[in-house]
Structure 1
Amino acid sequence: MTEQQSTPQLPEPQPQASQTAGAAASQASYTFTAPDGTAALRRRQRAQTVLLLLVIAGLGAQWWVSHAELRDLRSEVAQRLQSGDNSNNELKGVLKAVQESTKELQSRVSVLDSKQAESQSQQLALEQMYQDLNKNRDDWALSEIEEVLSTADQQLELAGNVQGALIALQNADKSLSRSDKPQFIAIRRALARDIDRLKALPTVDIPGIAVRLDSAIGQIDNMPLLVDEKPVESASEPKPQRVSPAVAGKASAAPAKSKAAAAVPEEAPASAWSQWLAGARETWQSMSTEMWAELRQLVRIREVQTPEAILLSPGQAYFVRENLKLRLLNARLALLSRNEFAFRNDLASAQDTIAKYFDTRAKQVQTTQALLKQVQGSNLAIQLPTLAESLNAVRNYKARH
């Protein structure tokens, strides 16, 4: 309807005589109605534009709301998935722990079964042994004494375990004394003689020597090497002090002032010149003495029998210390096993290493060397007896009976 209202009304055609006037009138009518139609069209376009903007704004608001809801939904779904993953991980951890505990229980059960079977077999063996030995208690006691004495004799011969052998002999004598049979007198006499021989042996302080070796091993890290040597200022040589020419001139001019009154006026320039020369000479001597002392501290010459000890790198120095520790540990093991040959060889090698690579003028090195010499002076060469007499007495009695 708006288009119909804005469309100009054209006049109906007139006869040919009045065409000119009609055309002029219709053009005049179109000219006056055209502005009203354009304004209406513009208002309509503006209304459509506003409506379109409102629609766009509504669609944007709806999109933003839906986007926010979708985002919240996604975050909620992600949180739920994360919580589900955490729950799954926890369940996996619990399941893994349960499986491990099940495996551990199964292994313990298998161990218990094996121990039970072993204990049953041992019980059966002990029962059989008891039945066999119960037939003759004397034979059983003599067999036990023979086995104990044989073990003690082996320990005495291999490890020098005098105390263990002595305890074995005393226990055997007590076991025979409880039976109170006269046929065991010969065996008890042999046991008594072996006991007296073991008690007559000189004692060796094995634990004390081992403690000294441990002390020497603990001091190795603090012992300075030849390559670690640093120049040290001598305490007997005081450091010369530099005297300035002005001070020297004043010091030399002080006694000269007392004689100025008696001096001849013509000798004044000569005395001043001699004083200046004396001050300059003293200054030069003090400076040269100080420079010489500094040069002596910078360069030190020392004769070393082993040049390779001066050329050690930090890594090689570390291995030198560790090798020395291993030598002393080997000596300690040889001491505990009463292997005197290995004990003395390891101590000699350790002392050679100290003399070759360490600074023997340092107090720590001298203390360690004295400690090793004291340990090396210990006497381990003790002729240990055997328990052959007691063993032969027991075996002869068993053979006769």
Structure 2
Amino acid sequence: MSDTSSNTPATETVASAVTPYAAHAVVPRPVVPAWLLLGALVLAVTSVAGLAVAWHGLDRQRALEQELVRRQDASRGEASEAQAQSKQAQDLARDTAAKVALLDARLAEVALQRGQLEDLIQSMSRSRDENIVVDIEASVRVAVQQTVITGSAEPLVAALKQADDRLLRYKQPRFEGIRRAVARDLDRIKSLSVVDVSTLAIKLDEVVRLLDDLPLLASAERDAPEAAPAKRVVKAPAAAASVPVADGEMSQWLGQARQRWDDAVKLVWGETRSLIRVTRIDHPEGMLIAPDQSFFLRENLKLRLLNARLALLSRQFDTAQSDLRDVQETMGRYFDVHSRKVVAATELMRQVTGQARQITVPRPDDTLAALAAAGR
């Protein structure tokens, strides 16, 4: 078709060229219209394009069919696998449902046990708090009784400190009021000047130890240094130089006689002074005590001091002060009050007498009130 279309213009050219010369000899062929040739050409191109498209469509359809078959096979395999997995999932779901039911039953049991446990813990906590309050109150009341019996604040202070330590370990808000009350009572009790009985007992023991070495009044008078004998003073006769030589022998005899008389008088006076002594004694019985009675005197004073010591330990301060006053009076009567040991022993007893006094320890009313309020 292409060849025909390409030859047509040449023929027309030749025909047009030879027409003037051989018009009479050549019979002209019928002229084909151009649009007809163009239509034929378009038809041919369209046919070829249609055949190409149809061929391509067939190839595509064949490829699609192959892909579809392959996908069908894959889908069939996946379907079978999905069916197997679905079966496994159903079995797993049944197992899971059974396990969930079992877990629900156990969870309900655990929830019940938890509720019971919480109730038990709350009851134990309440009972523990109540037991703590009751225990602290009992210990404080026992300490108050011990304080009343012994007169010492140490049992009450120790009980309050122990209560504060226990309340601090638990750290409960409801115990803060009790701790504040305990702190107030501790400050009020510690502000008192409590009698140190142990120190007073040690001082009395020291007096008992010194008692064997204290000098008695009679022994002190006997041991006093004797008066020094009078010195002999030899005086030469004043008139010896003035007498005449003839009267020398008489004057010498008279001088010797006067000197011997003076010596005899001085000797007699010295012996008399050593035997007789004038002393002012306020308590004459102190000088009249016999040496064998001094032992019983000292032992009697020791017994009085031991009684005073026992009275101090038992908080009977009036009895202790009475015994100490008797001991001081006896020591002032029979012992040498100028001796340093007697002065030291008297000072120790005076200190004990001044410090041994009854002190009323206040009751921990704030703590007891706070404990009673917390126990309600």
| TM-score above 0.5 | yes
Name the structure 2 match of 1:283. 263
Task: Identify the residue that residue 309 of structure 2 maps to in structure 1.
Answer: 332
- Asked if the contact 2:177–2:370 (Cα under 8 Å) also holds between the matched residues in 1, the reply is yes
Contact 1:149 1:165 in 2 (8 A): yes
Shift of 1:280: 2.0
In 2 relative to 1, CA 200–367 (structure 1 residues): closer, same or farther, beyond 3 Å? closer
Q: 1:252 and 2:236 equivalent? A: yes
The SS at the match of 1:386 is coil
> 2 CA distance for matches of 1:232 and 1:324?
23
Counterpart in the other structure of 2:55? none
Q: Secondary structure of the residue that 1:161 maps to in structure 2?
A: coil
CA contact (8 A) 1:152 1:164 kept: yes
TM-score by length of 1: 0.54
- Larger Rg over CA atoms: 2
What fraction of aligned residue pairs are identical, expressed as a percent? 31
Q: Distance in 2 between matches of 1:346 and 1:233?
A: 32
Residue correspondence of structure 1 range 280-359 to structure 2 within 5 A: 280-296=260-276, 303=281, 305=283, 307=285, 310=288, 314=292, 317-359=294-336
Q: 1:182 aligns with which of 170, 173, 176?
A: 173
Structure 1 residue 185 displacement after superposition: 2.2
Tell me if structure 2 keeps the 8 A contact 1:152–1:168. Answer: yes
Bigger RCO of structures 1 and 2 (CA < 8 A, at least 6 apart): 2
What is the 5 A alignment of 1:105-116? Answer: none
Q: Measure how far apart 1:272 and its partner are.
A: 1.9
Q: Distance in 2 between matches of 1:372 and 1:358?
A: 15
Consecutive unaligned residues of structure 1, counting only runs of 5 or more, are: 1-131
Per the alignment, residue 62 of structure 2 pairs with none
CA distance in 2, matches of 1:345, 1:379: 11
Provide the C-alpha distance between the structure 1 equivalents of 2:322 and 2:224, rounded to a whole number of angstroms: 39
* Pairwise CA RMSD: 3.3
Letter in 2 for 1:178: R
2:222 match: secondary structure: coil
Q: Could you tell me which of 182, 186, 189 is aligned with 1:195? A: 186
Cα distance change, pair 389–304 in 1 and its aligned pair in 2 (3 A): same
In 1: Cα distance, 2:345 partner to 2:322 partner: 17
Is 1:217 the counterpart of 2:205? The answer is no
| 8 Å Cα contact 2:207-2:345 kept in structure 1 | yes
Bigger mean CA deviation after superposition, 318-327 or 143-152: 318-327
Amino acid at match of 2:171: D
How many aligned positions are there? 254
Counterpart Cα distance in 2 of 1:135 and 1:185? 16
State the Cα distance separating 1:172 from its structure 2 match. 0.7
Give the partner amino acid of 1:139: E
* Amino acid in the other structure paired with 1:272: Q
Q: Indicate the SS of the match to 1:365.
A: helix
CA pair 220-233 structure 1, distance change in 2 beyond 3 A: closer
Distance 1:285 1:306, change over 3 A: closer
What's the TM-score once normalised by structure 2's chain length?
A: 0.58
Partners of 2:274 and 2:258 lie apart in 1 by 24
Q: Match of 1:148?
A: 139
Q: 1:232 to 1:321 in 2, by over 3 A?
A: closer
Task: Give the counterpart letter for 1:310 in structure 2.
Answer: L
Give the counterpart letter for 2:150 in structure 1: A
2-structure distance, mates of 1:234, 1:308:
19
